[in-house]
Structure 1
Amino acid sequence: MEINEYLDVFIEESKEHIQSLNSHLLELEKKPENIDTVNEIFRSAHTLKGMSATMGFQDLADLTHKMENVLDAVRNHKLQINSDIIDVAFDAVDHLESMVFDIVEGGNGKKDVSNLVAQLNAIEQGESIQGINMKEKESVATRESTRIGSLDQFETTVLQQSVEKDFNNYQVNVQLDEGCLLKAARVYMVFEVLEQLGEVIKSEPIVSELEEEKFENDFTILLISKEDEDTIKQKIMKVSEISQVCISQFDVNQHAVPAQVDEEKDGSDKQLSIQSKEDINNDKNNTKNSQLTSKTIRVNIDRLDALMNLFEELVIDRGRLEQIAGSMKHSELQETVEHMTRISGDLQNIILNMRMVPIDQVFNRFPRMVRQLAKDLNKQMELSIDGAETELDRTVIDEIGDPLVHLIRNAIDHGIETPEERKQKGKPEKGTLKLNAYHSGNHVFIEISDDGAGINKEKVIKKAIGNGVITDEQVATLSDSQIHQLILESGFSTADEISDISGRGVGLDVVKNTIESLGGSIRIKSEYGKGSLFSIQLPLTLSIISVLLVEVKKEKYAIPLSSIIETAIINKNEIMHAHNKQVIDFRGKVVPLISLHDIFEVPSEQEDETFHSIVIIRQGDKMAGLIVDTFIGQKEIVLKSLGNYLTDVFAISGATILGDGQVALILDTNALIK
């Protein structure tokens, strides 16, 4: 059997089973007497074991086998579920997930799980695991904390050459504080420091796992530098929430991989598909059941991307045909083009729906995260999830996970109070965190709300003035909503003052930037002492969007319809001036005007026009009026990037090709309003 042929399927199904283990363990913790839940966990572990053994990932198979033994004892009433068993089971699932991600990164899925196996064995035999948890766990952590794995040939060569050029090779182990919440942010700051002192060659765990916080409280970095150990240590210790830094000289010769390596070749083939008669029968039944109930197939996302790219070209040609048919006024051609337009419209909906995935793929990791954070912070927490079936484009789903994680962590750490504080305020000791998603028009809304401490406006204002975000004079003009939005500004990302304003705003500017890069927005509502609500608005898809085409002299621009309130033609006499800016009175509100002539420096002759065409746009609670020459009309266009050579072009988010072959630039309304 060609293993690589089935690797992608193995990885995807393993992720699904791991998620199933997580969600069912959470259910079991709430209802430990529910044997049906135990059976579901057993089935997932059993299937994962069989798949892993067949693919040759023996460490994965062995660990799931040990889990299976414990679960079998529970469902046969030989063991009773308690918090210790749940904690060890969650640890086992974390290790399984880590091994799967190692396979995704091209590794062999190997991991030292001896301590975990010892705990599972102790549970199965009815022994206490406390000694293992305290003593042996510490020794395992110590043993792993100073370990850098084998080096490849390139890494070995770089390290050897650095020694020849009088550089030092250091192994730097960094220990984070217990309960550190923004671990990924701390890792990033440490890497920033080290990259100023030398060159980072390797990390353990790998960078992707560090970014996703798939590690305990320590990580190790291999560094080439001419600085001494004390200097490096002092620089790292300036990063907050670092408890310890251990630096040692790294001997490259002890870690280099021999040229010819054939990892455990002999004997491994014999282990690929060893299953008991009972296992084989179970697998046959599972296969039969899945064939009866499943009407879905797995399609690689790259194929869907390729299909979308081809359809985007079809949309461009469709626009060209519509234009030609309109100019020729040929009845049969027009009828054919109209039919093609209807068919391609249906095809567009089908392709977009194929790319849609439930937001549950993001939401399903939060219950486990909330449980662990509540436990670490000694808080009582109840997570409520609604609208998990709401669908979003895959490209949006891939990007929205990290901002949501950040907002949820923020709510738990700095929003929800401790049981004692809540009791003093007359609140239930158990805090509530709600996650809600729903469709509205061409957008999806995601809401994260808590019944915690809320946002202290006075502290927000004080900090905003101190950081130069606003002035004393501006304070009186700000509404409550505008004050709450201030915590999303970059001036609030001050790590040294995390305790200020309940920690709200630490890194929230990154959340805001990520959401806005997806064409979305974020709004905040809060009542001090009662809680907060963060509302995120996102487009359903990023590939094909509806726009209003406008013309400025001979240049065409596309304005996303989702940002437009309405269009208007105003008399020049209606334009007023305030703070050296042109403004108009729009339905009782003062709206600033922005001339696209001036913004994009469009060459034109001076004309004394009596009337102006205006497009009123909105972003959050801010509005602006764009002055254009002509309204062309509404179109569905294909969003194309400007490429690597035209990055960070002000107020332009991309381009599109029109039916006549002309290129229209797509306006970034967020940048224009700012």
Structure 2
Amino acid sequence: MDMSQYLSMFIDESRDHLQAMNDSLLQLEASPKDISIVQVIFRSAHTLKGMSATMGFEDLASLTHEMENVLDLVRNHKLDMDAFIFDCIFKSLDSLESMVEDIIQGGTGKADVSSIVASLKSIVSGDYLKGEAAAAPTASAAKSGGSGELDEFQVSIIEQSIQAGLAVYKLEVSVEDTCVLKAARAYMVFNYLENQGEVIKSSPSVQDIEQEKFDKSFTVYFVTTVEQAVLEKEVGNISEIESAKATLFTPELLEQMRHAQIEVQASSAQTAAAAAAPALTPAAPAANTPAAAPAKAATGGAPVANKTIRVDIERLDTLMNLFSELLIDRVRLEQLASEVRRTDLTETVEHMARVSSDLQNIVLKLRMVPVDTVFNRFPRMVRDVAKSLNKKVDLVITGADTELDRTVIDEIGDPLVHLLRNSVDHGLETTEKRLEIGKPEVGTVNLRAFHSGNHVFIEVQDDGNGINRDNILNKAMKNGIVTADQARTMTDEEVYMLLFASGFSTAEKISDISGRGVGLDVVRTKIESLGGSVSVTSTLGKGSNFSVQLPLTLSIIAAMLIRVGQEKYAIPLSSIVETAAVKTSAIRSLHGTRVVEYRGGVIPIISLGKLLDVPGYEQADKNEQEIVVIRKGDKIAALQVDDFIGQQEIVLKSLGGYLNKTFAVSGATILGDGQVALIIDTNALIK
């Protein structure tokens, strides 16, 4: 049976179940005794297991099966949730998400999940120890550093490597406190190690290290022929690595490790026997009955018809393209009707315009997706970041039902991740500091989304220490970004926008400006590439607010049509500050750059005709020149054009693969008279 036709359905369903399990697990962490939440997670895991097995993704099926076994014990009151079990389930979900992502990218969904499966099995079998016994099984285990981290198979590899005359090290690597890209430095360490031998295991896992889910250090178990001193020196010489300490495994240390494992297993067996005794209670058969209760209660016992259907994204794109052609023909018909001037034709075209406008709204709404599809992964991320920093954080999400175009939704996730990480990591004070200054020990991060006009605003606000204006200005002057004279006249908002200057926060310690600005230039670039903008407000000691403004859609935009020479061009209205006419005599040259006075300042003026080498363009000898004032962030410039045609809604079309790197052109549109007008990328014109 060909399963490929069901793959997209499997991917969609898997994502839904994984997100549901993540959300429910966060709820369960807040209410560990609520068995109804466990039932929800169990059902999702059970469904995902069946789907994976049917599709032939055995690693997915086996991991969900082990999760199911643990959850079954919990829902039947044979096991209580604690920190270790929560971490195991969360790690399992991370692995499942990675495997599903691999399938999406065309892979087989296979992954090495042996360590997490072993942890889940240890919980089910009784080898898992609770409380203090789990934290410190035996003295010898603590000395070996292995019984809690290495499984029996990995210990066997170490034993065989030692017998073969190879050196086995436990390498502990620490990065510097000022290191910004920890994952990149860890990658350099692994790259060196893999060229010199074989990595048996890392703690945290390689996946967690790649996602920077570690504080300052990580441990690697490593087989090699390299001498200990050379290994420590070479790893220690990698940029921003603070230290590298290697411990050589000896036969004696290996024997201690095996002895520790035997003691742990013997102790665990006793714990398992004790845990099994109270399990035979009437609660077990009764635990299955509440499973269907929530759904029935919510509907009063009546079945609910499914009012939604899944639609392939390609079909929506095709629908949008067809409607785009219809919109172009409508504009053409309106133009012809105005020339013919027949009443019946004009009335028919006007009716067609009204109907097509309604159709346009429906088509655009079909492409709209709630920002919840992006927001729903943030509670888990904030939880992980807060836990790694030993902070207490409450993420408050409002407006998650606010809708955005799918093309914007697909791109906005990473910038928001960065802003949220900044708020949790660097915006909020430590628990001790908050209590010291009289703030609640739990910091609050607000993530808000709301509509305003033809835009959507997304805000990330924290009640942390705020942004220190003086520190930013001092650093900006030190880096040559602004002069002392400029600094004296800058408003608070202008100072905060300096955080988005390229590389602003890489030269000094993060704490100098509370960590703000690390990579924010990338955030700004991404948002502006979507036709949006970002702004910052802050009150020292009370917190900061990063506000992102985005267009509702990228498919149909409002634009100003202009003429240059024999060509027509479109400039997005979202980039335009205003249009004006200036005296030709007011245009002057300053250090080789043409400038014009504008509202008390001086801005550069760019001749589109010269810049784009437009056919038929000649510098007209006129007393006045038409200009379009454009903005990119806090930078302003003027475009010199020949004539204004007017405002119009245009359909944005790609230039295709061969012309995708055309300077200052972001796409094209077809006008009512059939002509093609290029759409100017104003961001490329301002540097």
Q: TM-score, normalised by structure 2?
A: 0.76
Q: Distance in 2 between matches of 1:333 and 1:647?
A: 40
Q: Is the 8 A contact 2:560 2:573 kept in 1?
A: yes
2:356 corresponds, among 325, 339, 344, to 344
Match of 1:451 in 2: 463
Query: Given residue 23 of structure 2, which amino acid in structure 1 is its aligned partner?
Result: S
Alignment of 1:186-335 (within 5 A): 186-187=183-184, 190=187, 213=211, 234=234, 237-240=237-240, 292-335=304-347
SS at structure 2 position matched to 1:470: coil
- CA spacing shift, 1:318–1:62, aligned 2, 3 Å: same
Say if 2:500 is the partner of 1:488.
yes
Query: Given residue 183 of structure 2, which amino acid in structure 1 is its aligned partner?
Result: R
SS at structure 1 position matched to 2:626: strand
Q: Larger Rg: 1 or 2?
A: 2
Match of 1:57 in 2: 57
2:680 corresponds, among 643, 662, 667, to 667
1:611 CA drift (Å): 3.5
Q: Distance in 2 between matches of 1:305 and 1:180?
A: 47
Query: Given residue 78 of structure 2, which amino acid in structure 1 is its aligned partner?
Result: K
Match of 1:638 in 2: 651
1:449 CA drift (Å): 1.1
SS at structure 2 position matched to 1:659: coil
Q: Distance in 2 between matches of 1:314 and 1:503?
A: 50
Q: Distance in 2 between matches of 1:636 and 1:73?
A: 60
SS at structure 2 position matched to 1:403: helix
Aligned-residue RMSD, C-alpha = 4.5
- CA spacing shift, 1:668–1:241, aligned 2, 3 Å: farther
Q: Distance in 2 between matches of 1:670 and 1:141?
A: 58
Match of 1:559 in 2: 571
Query: Given residue 35 of structure 2, which amino acid in structure 1 is its aligned partner?
Result: I
Match of 1:78 in 2: 78
Q: Distance in 1 between matches of 2:569 and 2:171?
A: 51
Unmatched segments (≥5 aa) in structure 2: 159-169, 196-200, 221-228, 247-286
- CA spacing shift, 1:315–1:324, aligned 2, 3 Å: same
1:628 CA drift (Å): 2.6
Query: Given residue 657 of structure 1, which amino acid in structure 2 is its aligned partner?
Result: I
Unmatched segments (≥5 aa) in structure 1: 148-172, 199-203, 221-228, 247-277
- CA spacing shift, 1:126–1:116, aligned 2, 3 Å: closer
SS at structure 1 position matched to 2:541: coil
Match of 1:120 in 2: 123
Query: Given residue 396 of structure 1, which amino acid in structure 2 is its aligned partner?
Result: V
Q: Distance in 1 between matches of 2:39 and 2:594?
A: 69
Aligned pairs, number: 603
Say if 2:25 is the partner of 1:20.
no
1:655 corresponds, among 657, 668, 685, to 668
SS at structure 2 position matched to 1:410: helix
SS at structure 2 position matched to 1:490: coil
Query: Given residue 307 of structure 1, which amino acid in structure 2 is its aligned partner?
Result: L
- CA spacing shift, 1:600–1:104, aligned 2, 3 Å: closer
Match of 2:404 in 1: 392
Query: Given residue 138 of structure 1, which amino acid in structure 2 is its aligned partner?
Result: E
SS at structure 1 position matched to 2:416: helix
Query: Given residue 12 of structure 1, which amino acid in structure 2 is its aligned partner?
Result: D
Q: Is the 8 A contact 2:48 2:61 kept in 1?
A: yes
Match of 1:161 in 2: none
Q: Is the 8 A contact 2:455 2:552 kept in 1?
A: yes
Match of 2:108 in 1: 107
Q: Distance in 2 between matches of 1:303 and 1:499?
A: 49
Q: Distance in 2 between matches of 1:79 and 1:231?
A: 44
Q: Distance in 2 between matches of 1:40 and 1:214?
A: 30
Deviation string for 1:227-263 (max 9, x for gaps)? xx989995995343586699xxxxxxxxxxxxxxxxx
Q: Is the 8 A contact 1:79 1:126 kept in 2?
A: no
- CA spacing shift, 1:24–1:494, aligned 2, 3 Å: same
1:143 CA drift (Å): 5.0
Q: Distance in 2 between matches of 1:26 and 1:77?
A: 20
Q: Is the 8 A contact 2:175 2:182 kept in 1?
A: no
- CA spacing shift, 1:478–1:523, aligned 2, 3 Å: same
1:47 CA drift (Å): 1.8
1:326 CA drift (Å): 3.0
Q: TM-score, normalised by structure 1?
A: 0.77
- CA spacing shift, 1:414–1:661, aligned 2, 3 Å: same
Query: Given residue 109 of structure 1, which amino acid in structure 2 is its aligned partner?
Result: K
Greater Cα shift, 285-294 or 1-10 = 285-294
Query: Given residue 670 of structure 1, which amino acid in structure 2 is its aligned partner?
Result: N
Q: Distance in 1 between matches of 2:623 and 2:245?
A: 70
SS at structure 2 position matched to 1:492: coil
Q: Distance in 2 between matches of 1:429 and 1:538?
A: 34
Identity of aligned residues (%): 52
1:564 CA drift (Å): 3.0
Q: Is the 8 A contact 1:545 1:637 kept in 2?
A: yes
- CA spacing shift, 1:523–1:126, aligned 2, 3 Å: same
Q: Is the 8 A contact 1:49 1:64 kept in 2?
A: yes
Q: Distance in 2 between matches of 1:237 and 1:349?
A: 60
Greater Cα shift, 134-143 or 309-318 = 134-143
Q: Distance in 1 between matches of 2:319 and 2:176?
A: 46
Q: Distance in 1 between matches of 2:9 and 2:412?
A: 24
Query: Given residue 80 of structure 1, which amino acid in structure 2 is its aligned partner?
Result: D
- CA spacing shift, 1:87–1:448, aligned 2, 3 Å: same
